[in-house]
Amino acid sequence: MRSFLSTASALLIVLVAVLTPLSALAVWVDREIGDTDSYVATMEPLASNSRVQNAVAVRITDEVTKRIDVGDAGPFQEGVESLVRDAVLSFAGTAAFRTVWNTVNRAAHTAVEDALAEGGDSAVSIDLAPVTERVKQQLADENVPFVDQIPVEHTRITILESGKLGTVRDVFHGLRIAGPWLPVATVLIAAGGVLLAVRRMRALVGLGLALAAGAVLLRIAVSVWRGLAPDDLPPDVDRPAAAAVYDALTATLRTTAWWVLAAGLALALAAWLADRRRPARAARAARVARAA
């Protein structure tokens, strides 16, 4: 019976190591990726990120200048490009840009959810038309030539190609269903692993190490995914900006991994020290009993 309980306890504790990163991902999908307000709040700091601002400036400048007819005057064309790019970068440093950025990301989040939930081959993109409109107004206020020719069209930056999601969509769907229930199940399994153990302090040491191992697995998964994610992006997507977006979206996962790692190691150390002290306490108690 003791052998059976020890084996069952060990298996449950090992299962905790596997479920820990999955639990973190389930909460992340449910609370951050699946919730519009949380998604927008996560993306908001990117409005001040130089790599993102540069990608927006390049994309809008390319779209605007190729639609402005300035004849064959090459140097003048370059001047217009410089004016537009500088105007976009100037606007990107304002509070108004942050407001527009939040608006376009709120709209994009709906498309992200649809792509992950329903599939299809359409691309998910951020529509920069509101930014173009504000830049056009800024150039008009400065009496820049040809500003009336700037079209306020749907200038987009593609952030996701749903046709390439495949397994990612299935994993996302499964984690979305699991939601907050997977962490609850993980806690119950961890408790079961300790309660079934013949030597519970040693089981707590194992549980702490299992949590630490799960945190390491989570951190490795985030890093590996960061390396593979660019392969699924369109070739015209700015890679530094895409990396900034990925880092922003996974910041919670990285923080969670470090906290769980620290908590797991602390639990393992505390339980190990407590287990080491037990023989000493028992010996002292025995001496006291003999003396009495």
The pLDDT tens digits of the residues spanning 216-237 come to: 999 999 998 888 766 666 677 7
* CA 256 centroid distance within chain: 11
- Whether 72 and 138 share a structural domain: yes
Q: What pTM was estimated for this model as a whole?
A: 0.80
Residue 63: left if φ>0, alpha if ψ -120 to 50, beta else—which one?
A: alpha
Give tens-digit pLDDT for 140-174: 777 766 666 666 666 777 766 655 566 666 777 77
Q: Point out which residues pair with 156 in neighbouring strands.
A: 127
Cα distance between residue 234 and residue 242, in whole Å:
11
Counted domains in the chain:
2
Residue type, 187: V
Residue 200 belongs to what domain range?
2-31+167-276
The answer to whether residue 42 sits within a structural domain is no
Do 154 and 217 belong to one domain? no
Place of tokens 């040491």: 205
Question: Are the C-beta atoms of 27 and 187 separated by less than 8 Å?
Answer: no
Structural domain contains residue 183 = yes
Give the per-residue pLDDT at 287: 53
90 pLDDT exceeds 50?
yes
What angle (nearest 5°) sits at the alpha carbon of residue 205, between those of residues 204 and 206? 90
Please enumerate, as own/partner, the contacts of 31-38 that have beta carbons within 8 Å and a separation of 24 or more.
Answer: 32/249, 32/252, 33/112, 33/116, 33/172, 33/249, 34/113, 34/176, 36/106, 36/109, 36/110
User: Are 10 and 67 in the same domain?
Assistant: no
Q: Do residues 51 and 157 share a domain?
A: yes
Q: Is 71 exposed, middle or buried (0-12, 13-18, 19+ CB in 10 A)?
A: exposed
What is the model's pLDDT at position 72?
A: 47
> Residue 285 domain-assigned?
no
For residue 109, which amino acid is it? Answer: H
